[in-house]
Structure 1
């Protein structure tokens, strides 16, 4: 029987390319299963734990029964546990495994059948592990393969060397048709090490696909003379890619487009004619946004870097329409590329909005600080938008509007009174957090009071929040905010 075991190991290892050790381990598991089935199934010892050890050189094997040493109060399964009080305390400790050699089963027909099932499973696991190890370092790379067959939700792509990738329909280009034996490029975006589902996941619609194709077609990118900063796509329709040169003598846009557009055309052809705009990246957000909105000419940009938003102003409606693009493609891709929310408007519209906002601030200063309209207007022209600002800026700030010292002192004193009154009123209106919110899993007292200051007093209040509503609270990142919100929503499902 020992020779038969060695024969099985050698044969399977040579045919399937699976390591010998993995097959030995599979055989040991198979012999354990067969031994339990023959000697212990249906008996009081059905829960017995066994171990089979095969000699890797001779093929001989021995079987051992095992008992775990546990505390007396945990001694619930005598078939596989020993109570510590029943053993010599000088020899055994909690958690030790006591073994006793028992009769081994012959490697006969039943054991061989079970072994075959276990070996097949082990071979599959080993093959998946080998493929995963082979491709793990290639995530993000361009993969070349042949369409093998179509499934209900996608295509199996033969990558060679017994490796197959899976291209789901949602990862394909719109209206893309693939045929068996067709050769295609795709990006490897994930390696699934789980035992279920497709293992090598491919995509032709993600921005990484565009980046990989550009790297393939533009040598300067591979040589790191040109750097790709980011990309945004509407697959099969339009895309924008931001590039930066590390050599001022090289034009990054010209290098990416190529002589007579040959380089960019090769990429477009691979992506079914997807139109690609090459944008010069800049660390100046305004300049970067203006480049991203090309071919439109931007008149001016007003940035709010904290909110990651920008007002984009255009001189003519033609330029505004060009910036928005067909069905909003251009502005949507520019926003995704730059990471800014872009609000597009004409100059007249922007002036009207500015005038409306300015009037609101003027009215506030007139009503709440009892100022005449000329002084309120002057404060707004200086950039004041809140009573707190007026109250606490250095007095010399008002030199610009030539106020005398007494007037400045009176103005700031009045502003401080109003600001303090507002703060007290706000403090009085803040409710304490409910006991349920304070005691919620994952909640701290400090965080509960910070939420209450935002009007989030109960667990139901928290459940109604979006992540963005509370993620800016100090000590609360988006991941934790999401966890707390979902915890609060458990009552809805219960």
Structure 2
């Protein structure tokens, strides 16, 4: 069998495998595919009379690499036929027997060496095409491996190291586990923490938000330092009661990048337990704040409020507004989840928080729309009347909409009855026409009999 030499093939495979963290089999597959593309290009150039090849024309061709002898050959799978129509896909039984295939039969497939005779010309063209295709194929192989490696690690936390900066994004090196090669991940500006110092080779814990698919350029791992999942992981890693499922995290509200630079990042986390002997808040804070301090340090000084979850909405809302002291929680409209929280005048600013951050996070944590009110100036009767009127108006609007739906349903039913009647009328008309045709046929027969 003929072969085209590729000097340094073995060293090329080894170096690409080492530099791109790809197995040698993947590199060999990419080189074979690139060489096959080179063969296609060569054939198209040689067969100018065949203006256009079908998309799957070269599917029966392949490239075999000879690593030891450092070369490759092109082979084709052909079907044995009695009369050859397309020599690229077929071979006659007589030709196969001439090549020593005495036991061959029609319909069988044989693999034949079809390496071009003009090796120098083909080798030069194949090398040019290989350079263009190989880089893309290797990138595709690498992206597929990264996707398979990290797909199951989405929504988990990884250790990362700063590599470089691209525009406003930080490019990090992350690994899927001990001994695994590092790959690049992107930390966009919106996912960064304002207090982080992203200097070269600095290490951080990051939350893997998404593993991108497709052929987009750049890192395909999107990581975050601002996601609430990072806070959940840090507490679960630091508090044994959470890992043992004695204490559970019910909800987290995080504002890692506040709308104003005068307000720092802050998180509220609601915890609960079914064990009466365990204080879930105390378990998360630890002795003298030792456990929560580890989390705060990892998040570069971010403020964290750990509050007790409660099945009673009023109690839960009061806890969520910590550290403010709440006097009363009035659930004004449970359906639309609106509530008034009454506090003393000296607690107003604390309950609302700097630029509204405290009440905003509490509302996000509980799922209720919270309106902070000064207890001394609160008009209880006036607010009750206002909400009662709003509920009455909403009920009236709901009744109006229901009446419209009923009216529409009645019209629709009438339309259906009309359609049925019309269809039935058309059926009777068709039947009358058929009977008239039968009468005419009978008359014609009687006339024939008389004659």
State if a TM-score over 0.5 links the two structures. Answer: yes
| Among 381, 388, 396, the residue aligned to 1:351 | 381
Name the TM-score, length of structure 2 as normaliser: 0.66
- Tell me the distance in 2 between the aligned counterparts of 1:244 and 1:206: 21
- Tell me the distance in 1 between the aligned counterparts of 2:281 and 2:228: 18
- Tell me the distance in 2 between the aligned counterparts of 1:388 and 1:261: 50
Contact 1:144/1:183 (<8 A) preserved? yes
CA distances 1:185-226 after superposition (whole Å, capped 9, x unpaired):
221111113321321111111111211221222122222221
Q: Structure 1's 253 and 143: CA in aligned 2 closer, same or farther, altered over 3 A?
A: same
| Among 131, 137, 140, the residue aligned to 1:125 | 140
| SS across alignment from 2:41 | helix
CA distances 1:69-127 after superposition (whole Å, capped 9, x unpaired):
xxxxxxxxx9x9xxxxxxxxxxxxxxxxx999895444723313422443332222222
Displacement of 1:28 in angstroms is 4.1
Superposed, 1:305-384 pairs within 5 Å as 305-307=334-336, 309-347=337-375, 348-356=378-386
Residue in 2 that maps onto 1:43: 48
Displacement of 1:143 in angstroms is 1.6
Which ranges of structure 1 fall in alignment gaps of 5 or more residues? 67-77, 81-97, 362-383, 390-418, 433-444, 447-494
Q: Structure 1's 120 and 65: CA in aligned 2 closer, same or farther, altered over 3 A?
A: farther
Residue in 1 that maps onto 2:265: 237
Question: Does residue 1:163 correspond to 2:183, yes or no?
Answer: yes
- Tell me the distance in 2 between the aligned counterparts of 1:357 and 1:184: 50
CA distances 1:206-250 after superposition (whole Å, capped 9, x unpaired):
111211221222122222221112211121521101112243221
| SS across alignment from 2:346 | helix
| SS across alignment from 2:223 | strand
Superposed, 1:179-218 pairs within 5 Å as 179-196=199-216, 197-218=218-239
| SS across alignment from 1:343 | strand
Superposed, 1:75-474 pairs within 5 Å as 103-105=114-116, 106=119, 108-160=123-175, 161-174=181-194, 176-196=196-216, 197-235=218-256, 236-295=264-323, 296-302=325-331, 304-307=333-336, 309-347=337-375, 348-356=378-386, 385=392, 427=404
Displacement of 1:333 in angstroms is 0.2
Report which stretch shifted further, 202-211 or 345-354.
345-354
- Tell me the distance in 1 between the aligned counterparts of 2:131 and 2:253: 50
| SS across alignment from 1:215 | helix
CA distances 1:255-280 after superposition (whole Å, capped 9, x unpaired):
11111011111211222211110011
- Tell me the distance in 1 between the aligned counterparts of 2:73 and 2:339: 79
- Tell me the distance in 2 between the aligned counterparts of 1:126 and 1:30: 13
- Tell me the distance in 2 between the aligned counterparts of 1:291 and 1:425: 39
- Tell me the distance in 1 between the aligned counterparts of 2:151 and 2:204: 20
| SS across alignment from 2:276 | coil
| SS across alignment from 2:379 | helix
Contact 1:26/1:115 (<8 A) preserved? no
Contact 2:36/2:62 (<8 A) preserved? no
- Tell me the distance in 2 between the aligned counterparts of 1:343 and 1:387: 20
Displacement of 1:345 in angstroms is 2.5
CA distances 1:155-196 after superposition (whole Å, capped 9, x unpaired):
111225231221112111125332112122221111113321
Residue in 2 that maps onto 1:54: 63
Name the TM-score, length of structure 1 as normaliser: 0.61
Displacement of 1:286 in angstroms is 2.5
- Tell me the distance in 2 between the aligned counterparts of 1:151 and 1:290: 44
Contact 2:4/2:123 (<8 A) preserved? no
Q: Structure 1's 423 and 22: CA in aligned 2 closer, same or farther, altered over 3 A?
A: closer
- Tell me the distance in 1 between the aligned counterparts of 2:394 and 2:198: 65
- Tell me the distance in 2 between the aligned counterparts of 1:272 and 1:129: 35
Contact 2:343/2:372 (<8 A) preserved? no
- Tell me the distance in 2 between the aligned counterparts of 1:238 and 1:423: 45
Q: Structure 1's 303 and 21: CA in aligned 2 closer, same or farther, altered over 3 A?
A: farther
Contact 1:147/1:182 (<8 A) preserved? yes
CA RMSD between the two structures = 4.0
- Tell me the distance in 1 between the aligned counterparts of 2:128 and 2:394: 84
Q: Structure 1's 39 and 237: CA in aligned 2 closer, same or farther, altered over 3 A?
A: closer
| SS across alignment from 1:240 | strand
Q: Structure 1's 9 and 303: CA in aligned 2 closer, same or farther, altered over 3 A?
A: farther
Displacement of 1:424 in angstroms is 11
